[in-house]
Structure 1
């Protein structure tokens, strides 16, 4: 019986040895797409993706030399916004547009866009003024909602401050044109995939001569508030960051089959040794121990149902084997994805998850388990990155 058991032990070693060898396994390579759970990572879009056009209407408030001499209501005029732009990332965009219509104020110069109507209390020394203007501008948009909270296609409200440079010019004599600097706040409210309701607040600063009268202050300004709609052209939005994993499914199945055969052979040997009741033979049992390979999805530490099933089979073997055998649970991560610090965390956490499941759920004695972790490794088995995102348990 001892001779038979020893021969069987050698047979088991021959079956299990290829499990840890790095060999080329014939089989069909299959692609698996795994999407990242990181809400700050998205796929880079194409040039013609995420374009939009905006039309809005509202009111404008001109800030000039005689604001204190006329009422606020006399200075409000209609405003129009028309813009076209593109989001290059969920957080950064650029748009070009037209902003303007007309502005109202007051002037002491009759030739400076005077309406000919006197401002009360000035005895003809000041007239109301009105002029048409336009502001062509380029805006750099920063979507704070996506930058600070992560990309969410279905978010109802997005807040996007922006900086702008443009060219403002009056339509009517005396015509004046000058560079404008603006700051603004674009608020968009999602209606559906294609449409947003938007509230756009803008403050523009321009040279004092814009209203046709000079000498009061160094700059004039225009504050506008418009409400409108934004239409988003296809392709809209961003896809989650993804990793294409090419794996040899035949090699994985072959490895699992080898492990299953090794476990079955281990059980057979144990029964044979028990029947022989030979002390020397039983010493061999201590060296015939269970081992397992559990794989994880990219960036995750959660056990799959398949992994739990394999661990249950292994736990049954551990509890039936020599109680003095100690099993080392070693965690690994794929060096090709993630930072060194992230892979250290993943490999350690994965080992802890397997240990805790064996102890808490399957009743394996804690004294028989110890953990280790190796951080990120490269292609442990069959040149397949998926097999590097693993926990390997071996008995000693």
Structure 2
């Protein structure tokens, strides 16, 4: 079997990076209005380190996701972090979060990186209209700039509560799982955390976070340029070394502002210069990408021969009205997909399995109608589309088995690839 991978241009990375730089600049500008001073506790490198762990739930905001039921959209979320406060106002954090997301694919709005064949259909249940729920596994690592709103507002007052917004940039890896391809993308991360200090070492925290990334992160190309994930987690924080607890607004901001004003100005100017240098480098990268695009607009296609044993999977489901053996109109796309698969796999064999609606009619009547439905599909494939009879197996099941919980959906003939 041939597996085709297409290298897609990472056009969203520069935009996400610029969003992060703009947010960083605005935060520094806000902090510049306050005195960015440090106390003796923050001058010691080993102080004010912390680690965090959290668990909760998350959901994906992507194209077609509204077709999923509410409870199916939510998946477990985990996070692990390490960070440091450099002053009562400003800190950084390195965080890992991820695990699983649930998506949805509608064939009328989705394209794939793999040409005409969608590899996910081999691993999931296909609904009668061709749509399906797909499963994602991912890991997200990001670096965040954090600030304490309570320190920014009132200084440190031996408090137990704090509110901490964060803004960062990261790397999101989607693992190859159940047909979804592996991808790598730059992300923008933001969050708002509430903390309660139990004692000197331990905090309880509740965090709401969101991540934005290119819409192709799951191997699909849809109408959305960017998609997002949002999560809510509850966790604990363990603080290493000393941390400030008894500075008041007056002694924090008044006695030391003048002595540090010059140093703050130099530091801010240096940071702004570094931001300008980074932006210049991003512009240089964009120019190189544009130059490469002018030379070659077609994506580079790499074809690898992969020996894979094909497992049985459902190619299509042909639907019928109650007590009818003639397929419902408008299902030509299902027959076309079956024929294309046979054309691409000349030695393939398919099995037609007919079912009945258990809630209507007796078992004997449903078995008879399922036989007629199977025969109708077999004749259509043979007479209209020229499929060899030797490539078709048939089986009437009736109500002995029900593929779907919704009873009306079981008035079908499933087409399964068996060889």
Rg larger in structure: 1
Per the normalisation by structure 2, the TM-score is: 0.45
